[in-house]
Each structure stands twice: as structure tokens, then as C-alpha cells.
Copies of this chain bind each other. A is one copy, B any other.
Amino acid sequence: MLSRPDVAVVGAGPVGLAIAWRCAARGLRVVLHDPAPGSGASHVAAGMLAPVAEAYFGEHELTGLLTDSAARWPAFAAELTEASGADIGYRTDGTLVVGLTADDLAEARRLWAYQRGLGLPVTPLRPTELRDREPALAPRVRGGAFAATDHQVDPRRLVPALRTAAERSGATVRPGVVRQLSDVDAAVTVVAAGCGAAALTGLPVRPVKGQVLRLRAPDGGAPGFRHVIRGYADGEPVYLVPRTSGEVVVGATVEERADTGVRAGAVLRLLRAAVDLLPELSEYDITETVAGLRPGTPDNAPILGPLPGRPGVLAATGHHRHGIVLTPVTADLIADLITTGVADPLLAPFTPGRFGPRPDTRPPGPAGPQQTTEDDSWN
């Protein structure tokens, strides 16, 4: 064993790996802990980089962070491709948001108006424009809009690329399971363990189940559409993400459950919505049905920054539906915080402290929870 590392990252998903890469590239000695890197939510995720289509009512600060991180993606993707030598499936064809019925379209338009009010680039299309962009859409589709800056990446390519980049920068990955933070010896510990952060830190991170299908275009060909398609089909939200390889990811349910079973009803609803929007999918093979658990938080926004009452411990978790798009900004700002000691103002709305008093996961013993007199602040 060498001497104590500067940074220990618990969790080698995209967020943990990117933080490790950024820290190692700045000369810090970094160790990642994960028994199965990339086996969490990112293994199921579609990889949409969609700050516009994901901008929802009442999530103004999250939208700002999504937009900031999405703007970092082109350079991040280029740098990562260079550093890893790997193709990460980054595609900038843009996203079409469509409505199948008049009701679906009315619902979509309400959201587009909100997004345009924020100055976000979503452009309603005439039906002929929509078909010109994507002739494979069902004739029933009533209308849609184009979000040119909503891109995609393949999370199953992203994770190994990030690992390569992190390791080439000097980070090491250790397969042991971290059951408590005291198992980790480092100057700074970053908890990037997704849903596992709850048990490690007491933070209010809960599993939010998502079921996803993977299809494959016939005869080894590419999918017959090139945009990410997000739609409402008879009230059912669905997305269709085409990969150059021929894969199409169809997702996703959002369920307050912690199991990873694949339910017949969910598969039926996803397939029905997918085929209603894009009939040719009927002829695609189903290659995978899978469910994962997103790390959700009370306000749907991530938890980024120093853990109150735990000096030297940072959280980078709770990314919920947004882990892939938020990977660059998370990695940059956490690495900045570690190396400079100064928190970027962007982090202010996302501190662990926003959920109230200091969390404490130690079980109450005979003497009750232990208290610490150390300074809670990071700086």
C-alpha cells in the first residue's frame, strides 16, 4: 500500500468516475471504491442529454444546472474521447418532442410554452416539417417540436471510457464494498454511490424505479430514425433513443418502488406507446428488458457538496433522472471544490444541508447518537 490517498470516491458510476478523472488529472492521488463499476442506474439509463425537454414546471434551479452541464458536454465528450481513445456514442442530432393525440399535443404545448418562456430552444414544427425531419413517425402523430440542443450519449460506452481516462490519469479502482465511511481512509471522501448514499450518509436519497427496453433494428441495420424522440402517446410518456449500432432504448417508467423486477404491464405500456409513435419498431427485436433504481431526492435535484457534520466528506449523489447529463458539471465543480476549497456559486442550491439538520446514520447506542464538535463547514 502506498500512503493515504488524497481523494477516495465511493461509487464508480459516471459521476464517481468523472470526479476521479478530474481530480487525478489535477495531480491528486485518487482511489475509487466499487465492487461493480457501472452496474447501477447508468447501466439502465438511456443517456439523453436533454436540459430543454427535461425542464419542468417548478424546477428552475435544476433546469439551470442541467443547461450548464449540457453546455459542457461537447468539450467533455471531445476530451474524454481523446483521453480514453473510446467512442462514447455522443450524438448531436437533436430531439423531437411529439404528441400522438390532440390531448397529448395540448399537454406538450403547455410545457413548450413554459420552456420557451425560460428562453430555452424548443421550436414547434408544422406537421410537414416534423415528417420531413423524421418520416418514420406514425401518421397519427399530431404534432411536435424540435429541441436542437438536446443530445445523447451511450452510458454503457461512457462508463468504460471514463474508467480508462481515470486510470490513465493515475486513479485506481478497488473492488471492495464500502459499508461505512470509516472504512475509507483518505483526506477527502466523495460519496458518489447513487442510492447507496442513503445508508452511508443518512441523506434523503431514495430509489425511484425505472423500467427500460432495448430493441434492435432488423438485419443488423441502423434504426430507421435519427433523432431522440420523446413523446406522449395517449397520456403515456415515452422516449426512443436510436444508436448507430442499431440499438433503440425505449423508456422509462418512474415508480416509487425499490425492486428491479420487469413488470408485464410496464412493458406493455412502453411497447404500445413506442409502436404507436413509430410503427416500424414493431419489427425490431427485443434484446433486453431491465429495471434500475434512480437516486431520487425530495426536490428531484442532486445533492452536491460538503456533508454537514462530516468534515472531509463530500456528497455527489441524488442525480435522479439526470445523472448522465449532470456528469460534467458535477465532476468539474466537485474537483474545483476539492482542489481550491472554494464552492462555485452554482452549487449553492444543491448543498446537502438544504434538507435540514445534519444527517446522522450512526445507530443510536446506549449513549445516544454521537456528537462531534468539529466544524461543519467545508471551507
Chain B residues near A265: list those with CB within 8 A: 275, 281-283
Name the interface size band of chain A: 20 to 34
Q: Which residues from 256 to 313 on chain A have a C-beta closer than 8 Å to any C-beta of chain B?
A: 261-265, 267-268, 271-272, 274-275, 281-286, 289
Bound complex: CA of A272 vs CA of B265, how far in Å?
9
CB of A215 within 8 Å of the partner chain: yes
Chain B residues near A275: list those with CB within 8 A: 264-265, 268
Q: From residue A273, how far is it (CB to closest CB) to chain B in Å?
A: 10
Q: From residue A35, how far is it (CB to closest CB) to chain B in Å?
A: 25
Residue of B nearest to A279 (CB): B265
Number of copies: 2
Residue of B nearest to A211 (CB): B286
Q: Is the interface of A mostly helix, strand, loop or mixed?
A: helix
Bound complex: CA of A274 vs CA of B274, how far in Å?
19
- Candidates B261, B263, B267, B284; contact of A263 at CB < 8 Å: B284
Chain B residues near A274: list those with CB within 8 A: 264
Q: Which residues from 201 to 222 on chain A have a C-beta closer than 8 Å to any C-beta of chain B?
A: 213, 215
Bound complex: CA of A283 vs CA of B274, how far in Å?
20
A283, B264: Cβ atoms closer than 8 Å: yes
Chain B residues near A261: list those with CB within 8 A: 285
Bound complex: CA of A262 vs CA of B215, how far in Å?
10
Residue of B nearest to A259 (CB): B285
A-B residue pairs in contact (CB < 8 Å), sample of 20: A215-B264, A261-B285, A262-B285, A262-B286, A263-B282, A263-B283, A263-B284, A263-B285, A264-B274, A264-B275, A264-B283, A264-B286, A265-B275, A265-B282, A265-B283, A267-B267, A268-B271, A268-B275, A272-B272, A289-B289
Other than the given A267-B267, A268-B271, A271-B271, 14 more pairs (CB < 8 A) read A215-B264, A261-B285, A263-B283, A263-B284, A263-B286, A264-B271, A264-B281, A264-B283, A264-B285, A264-B286, A268-B272, A272-B272, A286-B289, A289-B289
Bound complex: CA of A263 vs CA of B285, how far in Å?
4
Q: Which residues from 236 to 271 on chain A have a C-beta closer than 8 Å to any C-beta of chain B?
A: 261-265, 267-268, 271
Residue of B nearest to A285 (CB): B261
Chain B residues near A272: list those with CB within 8 A: 268, 272
Chain B residues near A282: list those with CB within 8 A: 263-265, 268
Bound complex: CA of A286 vs CA of B265, how far in Å?
9
Chain B residues near A283: list those with CB within 8 A: 263-265
Bound complex: CA of A281 vs CA of B268, how far in Å?
11
Bound complex: CA of A275 vs CA of B268, how far in Å?
9
Chain B residues near A213: list those with CB within 8 A: 264
Residue of B nearest to A284 (CB): B264
Q: From residue A257, how far is it (CB to closest CB) to chain B in Å?
A: 11
Residue of B nearest to A281 (CB): B264
Bound complex: CA of A107 vs CA of B267, how far in Å?
29
Q: From residue A275, how far is it (CB to closest CB) to chain B in Å?
A: 6
